[in-house]
Structure 1
Amino acid sequence: MTITSLVTGGAGFIGSHVAAELLRAGHRVVVLDDLSGGDTANVPDGAHFVAGSVCDAGLVDSLFAEWRFTYVFHLAAYAAEGLSHFIKRYNYTNNVIGSVNLINASVNAGTVRCFVFTSSIAVYGDAEPPMSEDLTPLPIDSYGIAKYAVEQELKVSHEIFDLPYIIFRPHNVYGERQNIGDRYRNVIGIFMNQILRGESCTIFGDGEQTRAFSYIDDVALPIARSVDNPRAYGQTFNIGGDTPYTVNELATTVAAAMDAPLRVDHLPARHEVVHAYSSHEKARDLLGVGAGSVPLTEGLARMAAWARKQGPQEPSVFDGIEVDKNMPPSWRAVSRIR
């Protein structure tokens, strides 16, 4: 029997890597992506690409009718935590309504064996780290609220409609094919692009915020393989790197990976979680994977070699800010209210 998997966001960063892993596992893969943050060049050879949005319920329903998906890997999202405060309507439309369209289609199709959802560490808010899955989520930004809402919807859909699911909460993923031109998210990509452009690395506040960083191979492979593990069904997993670094330490390490002198500009602090990293004991116990196996220095070296080949990118501008009040000045100068 042919296994057919839908990967939403499969032209993006994490999604394209998951799609490639599924192809290697023998799946027939359909990628759905609106290219708002991805690129067709990222879609792996052998995948069938469909340009479109998860927000288009008619398109989603037609794809499920045509392909009769066995598995759904939902990675499409606009994952800018800080910016989500200022684009609430866009955030909830794409990250909640789009997800609901997929859940509805999965239930109605009757062929989906598992719905794999990529949530985020953002659901924990400012809980004391290391954050574990038994904590009650209390997100402090609109992005985290959206992700947690979809998690809850999946649990209810399992109870009412018997839709199997697996939820992953990755954090600060980096690596090849990341959009380094996105000025609003992915600090490693931002730093590398700033260095390539001959600019200083910009840090909000004093730079003593701590994060753990997750190399893409340590995230994409467990997500792709999870559907083959019956113990994973109905579970939520933290996944990613285990060792926290300050943003100041990160800037130093990125500059070294790029073989460039370190230059830093500190900007006014923004509203964000100060310390965010998670434990991975559950993933180790049930999935056989623990914290990331690729050390930060090695992962950065791989990404730096790729980024140098790509060259500097023009930083993106989000054209659709809904609320300008209290927006970081460095974002306000380049973002436009629609």
Structure 2
Amino acid sequence: MVKKNLASGPVLVTGAAGFIGSHLTRRLMESGYRVVALDDLSGGFRDNLPADADFVEASVLDQDRLTKLFEKHKFRHVYHLAAYAAEGLSHFIRKFNYSNNVLGSMNLINLSVCHGVERFVFTSSIAVYGSNQVPMHERMAPSPEDPYGIAKYAVELDLRAAHELFGLQYTVFRPHNVYGEYQNIGDRYRNVIGIFMNQLALGQPLTIFGDGQQQRAFSYIDDVVWPMVACLDMPETACDVFNVGSDEPYTVNVLAEAVMDAMGVKGKIRNLAARKEVIIAYSDHGKLRAVFKDMPKPVPLTEGLKK
């Protein structure tokens, strides 16, 4: 692995103590980048990060604190992952959703423009597509159907405007249903795989909304983080958007059986009333593979669950 020039400006990772953020921080540090890991610990854990990580406990809503960090470190790159990602709850916490997921992002984009950040990498979501045809691809016009997806797309649009007006270089990744080590299985509202694992561990029935025929493609964490790190050395990825994750869709019913098999526990299923959600959602990754030619093959669901 080629080590980076440690004399260059450090990288800021927001949401660094969360699930994806902690994996990204580790991978960047292993690649030789100097990383400042920022998180308010509202959903992440300090123990997710390496002991020697330069950790800052702060919120992306704290503009004064962010300004001081940008002035002190002169960040070369910014990875923005901090968000409240409970998509299903976003209808009921609209102000909280937009405050955390839009206003915090605007703070970071403004500071990145003012301080000459070379690349702003944003973690969006396939929630921006809404109920589009599947597989969803980047050429589709986004049509988000919930406040979470609306917030993500608003940030994408603001990044585009910041590039056109001020020249800010950015890359957007749209992951989906990511799972793996360090995910918070105690979170009752986010990540169905973690929810199922926690319910099995507690001897509770697996709760499924509706008939369980909703389809999703579940993405192992390494498949998502790899291109996020690689993009910094690839000028051709600037000012572009990429779907990232697994290709193979599964119903929630099939997922429940796969999680039980991986844990060696046979649990009961409890079907709850159906909720308003996109029934079939998975994306195409042809563009990603065409650009990131050395990207490893995706980890199959059954293999990833055992990890």
TM-score (norm 1): 0.88
Instruction: Output the amino acid matched with 1:48.
Output: D
Q: Does 1:23 align with 2:35?
A: no
The answer to whether the 8 Å contact 2:9/2:74 transfers is no
The answer to whether the 8 Å contact 1:214/1:292 transfers is no
Among candidates 16, 19, 22, match of residue 13 of structure 1: 19
Residue 266 of structure 1 aligns to a residue in which SS? strand
- Higher mean alpha-carbon deviation, 217-226 vs 180-189, is at 217-226
Among candidates 174, 178, 190, match of residue 173 of structure 1: 178
The answer to whether the 8 Å contact 1:241/1:292 transfers is no
Among candidates 43, 58, 66, match of residue 60 of structure 1: 66
The runs of 5 or more residues in structure 1 that have no matched partner are 303-338
Q: For residues 135 and 20 of structure 1, what CA distance do their matches in structure 2 show? A: 33
Q: Does 1:245 align with 2:250?
A: yes
Among candidates 228, 233, 238, match of residue 233 of structure 1: 238
Percent identical among aligned pairs is 58
Among candidates 194, 200, 204, match of residue 205 of structure 2: 200
Could you say which residue in structure 2 is the equivalent of 1:278? 283
Kindly provide the CA deviation profile for residues 137-160 of structure 1, in whole angstroms up to 9, marking residues without a partner as x.
Answer: 000000000000000000000000
Q: For residues 8 and 29 of structure 1, what CA distance do their matches in structure 2 show? A: 10
Could you say which residue in structure 1 is the equivalent of 2:4? none
CA RMSD after TM alignment: 1.1
Instruction: Output the amino acid matched with 1:142.
Output: P
The answer to whether the 8 Å contact 2:215/2:281 transfers is yes
Residue 106 of structure 2 aligns to a residue in which SS? helix
CA shift, 1:45, in A, is 3.4
Q: For residues 173 and 289 of structure 1, what CA distance do their matches in structure 2 show? A: 21
Residue 41 of structure 2 aligns to a residue in which SS? coil
The answer to whether the 8 Å contact 1:251/1:262 transfers is no
The answer to whether the 8 Å contact 1:211/1:244 transfers is yes
Could you say which residue in structure 2 is the equivalent of 1:139? 144
The runs of 5 or more residues in structure 2 that have no matched partner are 1-6
Q: For residues 290 and 244 of structure 1, what CA distance do their matches in structure 2 show? A: 20
Could you say which residue in structure 1 is the equivalent of 2:42? 36
The answer to whether the 8 Å contact 2:204/2:267 transfers is no
Could you say which residue in structure 2 is the equivalent of 1:268? 273
Q: For residues 12 and 292 of structure 1, what CA distance do their matches in structure 2 show? A: 25
CA shift, 1:198, in A, is 0.3
Matches within 5 A, 1:90-129: 90-110=96-116, 112-129=117-134
Q: For residues 286 and 76 of structure 2, what CA distance do their matches in structure 1 show? A: 29
Among candidates 245, 250, 255, match of residue 260 of structure 2: 255
CA shift, 1:277, in A, is 0.1
TM-score (norm 2): 0.96
> What is the aligned residue count?
301
